[in-house]
Amino acid sequence: MGGPLDPDYDKVPQAGDFATEADPLALFHAWLAEAEAREPNDPNAMALATVDETGLPNVRMVLLKGADEAGFVFYTNLESAKGRELTANPKAALCFHWKSLRRQVRVRGPVLPVTPEEADAYFASRPRQSRIGAWASKQSRPLESRLALEKAVATYAAKFHIGAIPRPAFWSGFRLQPLEIEFWHDRPYRLHDRVVFRRARAGAPWTRTRLYP
């Protein structure tokens, strides 16, 4: 990561002694707001790690669609690899990396499905073509050709030519309830700032610990 030899290092907002912050969600939202102002693409992008039926980890990029005291929310096809893995083993980890800010946030905890009402509301907010795409894509499963996908999109575009596009039963979201949130901020000579917040269960008070980098 960056350091004192980087000519732009001093232009990056510095986190200060963020170990004094008692609320990790408040700190996360402050960092996210700065990322939204500086990151050129998808400041809400996060790596999502799950475990498959063999015990091997899987990781992929998804988009954060909400974060509050209840947890971190994202949406997917429930029949995709991540959907199946989260249903079978409802625990996950997230990683946000904002390169322009030289910051990282890692989150771990159990995962719960969002309510049907939440899923309906978010699905209805998506662009029309994205909603059609959700119907057309058999996510994570073999695709014989690009043409087959385009034909499926055309089929559903014709089906939903008029009126609202309902949310597929196989499409919904998950909420990760954080039990651990770690903040990392690049510092010169690799003497980085690291602070981890932990709690025993959702709703319990947080403890805060500074870590060696």
Q: What is the pLDDT of residues 73-115, one digit of tens each?
A: 999 999 999 999 999 999 999 999 999 999 999 999 999 999 9
pLDDT under 70: residue ranges of the chain: 1-20
What's the pLDDT at 107?
A: 98
What's the pLDDT at 127?
A: 95
With 0-12 / 13-18 / 19 or more C-beta atoms within 10 angstroms meaning exposed / middle / buried, residue 15 is buried
Strands (E), 37-90: 45-51, 57-63, 66-68, 71-77
Give CA–CA dist 136/64, Å, rounded: 23
Query: Left if phi > 0, otherwise alpha if psi is -120 to 50, otherwise beta: which for 97?
Result: beta
Buried b (16+ CB within 10 A) or exposed e, 79-94: bbbbbbbbeeebbbbb
What is the value of pTM for the model shown?
A: 0.88
One of 3.30.1490.20, 3.40.50.970, 3.40.1710.10, 2.30.110.10 is the CATH number of 9-125+175-210, namely: 2.30.110.10
DSSP assignment, residue 166?
A: P
Give the residue numbers marked as catalytic.
190
Q: Where are the domains of the chain?
A: 9-125+175-210
What's the pLDDT at 2?
A: 44
